[in-house]
Amino acid sequence: MSHALSDAPASSGALASVMTLEQFILDRRDRFPQSTRAFARLLRDVSVAAKIINHNIRRAGILDVMGETGTVNVQDEKQKKLDEIADRELERALRRGGECCLIGSEEQPETVSLSPHGNFQERFAVFFDPLDGSSNTDVNASVGTIFSVYTLPEDIDEEDSLDVTLRPGAEQVAAGYVAYGSSTMFVFTTGNGVNGFTLDPGIGEFLLTHPDLQIPQERAMYSINEADIEDFSPKLRAFLQWLKTKDPDTGARIRARYIGSFVSDFHRNLLTGGLYMYPARTNYPNGKLRLMYEANPMAFLVEQAGGRASTGHQRVLDLQPEGVHQRTPLFIGSAPLVEAAEAYLQDREEEVPRVA
Rounded mean pLDDT, 162-185: 91
Res 37: pLDDT: 77
**Beta-strand runs (E) in 220-354:** 221-223, 255-256, 274-278, 289-290, 308-310, 327-328, 330-333
- Phi, psi (5° rounding) for residue 90? -65, -45
Give tens-digit pLDDT for 6-24.
333 344 444 546 899 988 9
Give tens-digit pLDDT for 32-88.
655 567 888 899 999 999 999 999 888 866 665 555 555 666 566 666 788 999 999
| Residue spans per domain, the chain | 15-210, 221-351
Res 6: pLDDT: 34
Match domain 221-351 to its CATH number in 3.40.5.90, 3.30.360.10, 3.40.50.300, 3.40.190.80. Answer: 3.40.190.80
4-8, 35-39, 99-103, 325-329, range with greatest mean pLDDT: 325-329
Res 2: pLDDT: 36
Res 63: pLDDT: 63
- Phi, psi (5° rounding) for residue 198? -110, 135
**Beta-strand runs (E) in the chain:** 68-72, 78-80, 100-105, 112-113, 124-132, 143-151, 174-180, 184-189, 194-200, 205-210, 221-223, 255-256, 274-278, 289-290, 308-310, 327-328, 330-333
What's the pTM? 0.88
Query: Are both 15-210 and 221-351 of the same fold?
Result: no
Give tens-digit pLDDT for 200-251.
999 999 999 999 999 999 878 999 999 999 999 999 999 999 999 888 888 8
CATH topology of domain 15-210: Fructose-1,6-Bisphosphatase; Chain A, domain 1 (3.30.540)
